[in-house]
Structure 1
Amino acid sequence: MTTQPAPHAHPFDHRMAVFGADDEFVAAALPFLTEGLGAPGEPPPVAIAAPDKLDLLRDALGADVKEVGLLPHTEWYTGSAANAVAQGAGYLAAHAGPGGRIHLLMEPEWDGRAGRSTRETTEWLRYEALANLLFAPLATTVLCAYDTRTAGTAIVEAARRAHPDSGVYEDPVRLTAELDAVPLPSPPPDVERLDEPYTEAVRSRAAGRGLSRVDAELFTEAVTAAAAALGPVTGALLWGEAPACVVELHAPRRVDDPLAGFVPPPVPDLEPDQGLWFSRQVCAYVDVRDDAHGATVRLQYG
């Protein structure tokens, strides 16, 4: 088990605890929650973890348990990494103290979506890295709990690179650039080239590939929002069968922003350049790749 205080280079205090036994989890979590209980100007700390770990905390906290929020992680991590960003931003806006002050213990649901594939692990590492930029202005203190019994060694070692207290922390922009340096798989032989107007083409072709009317409409809205954010789109491809339909957009302008689509908009009504936020909330995956010719954005629904 390893855990240590994070450096205070900016208000956001992003820590990591690694453990492989129940008593090690309690040994890391209890001091953190106690720290939150004693922090002036903060609301009660919250633990978001597996139900069995919440039971451990109830026993360990004793009378203090009524002062700590306990939330099963299945109620927090309900979708993609981009959904987790939205969940976190919304929670802080509604419940944190001034400047985002609150202590959050957070355990990803590694038995669920977050750990089910290498693809998902990559997306989670991206989320952990970008959190250092997205939440940097906030005085939020987070302890990310990594159980080697469920997360596994490879995931833990990768996650260390996204936590400032790990000793192997890497700049988030450099780390996400490394993730994006991996080439996207080539489209399959049955790929379709879409003609303009792309909105109508996506709606009809996605439905033809098995998406329900509602899902086809939502996917079309996500593609349309991404196209608006990119500016002029010079080409579009579609492939796959429901639920994993894919559209790839090509644009002559680079995106050049690792946070594109991850920054929560300040108001509900999105501006055109915020379209990737909506796309990331709707789609299972949104991949952005820049090159000398512009940008490629690949959206997968389901």
Structure 2
Amino acid sequence: MTTPRPATPPTPPSPFDHRMAVHSSDEEFLGTALSFLAEGLNAPDGPPPVAIAAPPKLDLLRDTLAADAGPRVVMIPHTDWYTGSAANAIARAAGYLATHAGPGGRIHLLMEPDWGGRAGRSARESAEWIRYEALANLLFAPYATTALCVYDTRTAGPAVIAAARRAHPDTEVYADPLLVAAELDAVPLPPPPRDAHRLPAPEPGAIRGWALARGLAAAEADLFATAVAEAAADPVTDVLLWGEAPSCVCELRTARRVADPLAGFVPPPAAEPAPGQGLWFARQVCAYVDVRDDVMGTFVRLQYA
């Protein structure tokens, strides 16, 4: 496991402008989106604003935008942007800013998570996206990016919208991102099954062999074994494995506490995840990476899918 970075203070003023809007009809969406995109189009020396939304809503925007404005708005289906875990979305946003944003990260992004797809498929998955929304306030704090996250009540339920309000500074219920993350981590994880397979050490070959026997394809077993090795702290006192493909799980127990709640979320300089990036690599590969403290120390639980 990489050396934890100091936690980013949540209180200093940030150039990152993180907003939220809720709508319940196509007409409300258009009104919000057109106003925001016009702000981006009129921003001095700003790059083209970006609309990341459901494909039918992008069609509405194309039909409504003026002939001169439409070509100047970048439109990306959210089914193409949000293709993996919340950690993958952080990587995609960081990469887009590095490639397309103006000086200081200046750009306008209209963003609609795919609540009808992966983000909304379970309470656990939705919680990870709320974590992403909250930690974005810290991870992108240095950037002069303006992001408007739009929530459609027809696809995002009341509980999701209520939780999302706490992750956006322009709402009256905004909460410290670290508090939001801590509350999510306070929800207990299911205990390991009694018949979990135990290893003396997180040896990649042994983990790969176990994953193959549980049904992961060879390439997936390689990725899972590498992710476990990247997440492994020194010394690891216990290694447990359980589950069947694709939901293979490995839990690593260590006496050393991970003090940084942003560990593994801070994008490294390299554009693509690669071995040697510790928890960042593990979070990019696995659907879930949980780092929890208890009376015995810290455990890191990785679930491939």
What is the deviation of 1:107? 0.4
What is the deviation of 1:196? 2.9
Matches within 5 A, 1:128-277: 128-196=133-201, 198-227=203-232, 230-267=233-270, 274-277=277-280
Percent identity, aligned pairs only, is 67
- In structure 2, which of residues 263, 283, 286 is the aligned counterpart of residue 283 of structure 1? 286
Q: Residue in 1 aligned with 2:89? A: 84
Q: How many residues align?
A: 292
Counterpart code for 1:28: T
Superimposed CA distance per residue, residues 207-240 of structure 1 (whole angstroms, 9 cap, x where no aligned partner): 111111111111000000001xx23211100000
TM-score (norm 1): 0.93
What is the deviation of 1:198? 2.4
Distance 1:238 1:51 in 2: 40
TM-score (norm 2): 0.93
What is the deviation of 1:292? 3.7
Superimposed CA distance per residue, residues 90-113 of structure 1 (whole angstroms, 9 cap, x where no aligned partner): 000000000000000000111110
Flag structure 2 segments of 5+ consecutive residues without an equivalent.
1-11
Q: Residue in 2 aligned with 1:295? A: 298
The answer to which structure, 1 or 2, has the higher relative contact order (CA under 8 A, 6+ apart) is 2
Higher helix share: 1
Q: Residue in 2 aligned with 1:39? A: 43
Given that residues 50 and 109 in structure 2 are in contact (C-alpha distance below 8 angstroms), is that contact kept between their aligned partners in structure 1?
Answer: yes
Q: Residue in 2 aligned with 1:4? A: none
Given that residues 284 and 300 in structure 1 are in contact (C-alpha distance below 8 angstroms), is that contact kept between their aligned partners in structure 2?
Answer: yes
Given that residues 202 and 239 in structure 2 are in contact (C-alpha distance below 8 angstroms), is that contact kept between their aligned partners in structure 1?
Answer: no
What is the deviation of 1:118? 0.2
What is the deviation of 1:295? 1.1
Distance 2:108 2:75 in 1: 12
When the two chains are superposed, the root-mean-square deviation of aligned CA atoms in Å is: 1.5
The answer to whether residue 74 in structure 2 is matched with residue 69 in structure 1 is yes
Distance 1:94 1:197 in 2: 37
Given that residues 20 and 148 in structure 2 are in contact (C-alpha distance below 8 angstroms), is that contact kept between their aligned partners in structure 1?
Answer: yes
Counterpart code for 2:197: E
**Shift in alpha-carbon separation, 1:101–1:119, aligned structure 2, 3 A:** same
Distance 2:275 2:123 in 1: 33
Q: Which runs of 4+ in 1 moved over 3 A?
A: 267-272
Given that residues 133 and 164 in structure 2 are in contact (C-alpha distance below 8 angstroms), is that contact kept between their aligned partners in structure 1?
Answer: yes
Tell me the SS of whatever aligns to 2:65.
helix
Counterpart code for 1:293: M
Q: Residue in 1 aligned with 2:55? A: 51
Q: Residue in 2 aligned with 1:5? A: none
What is the deviation of 1:270? 6.2
Flag structure 1 segments of 5+ consecutive residues without an equivalent.
1-7
Q: Residue in 1 aligned with 2:3? A: none
- In structure 2, which of residues 15, 22, 38 is the aligned counterpart of residue 18 of structure 1? 22
Q: Residue in 2 aligned with 1:109? A: 114
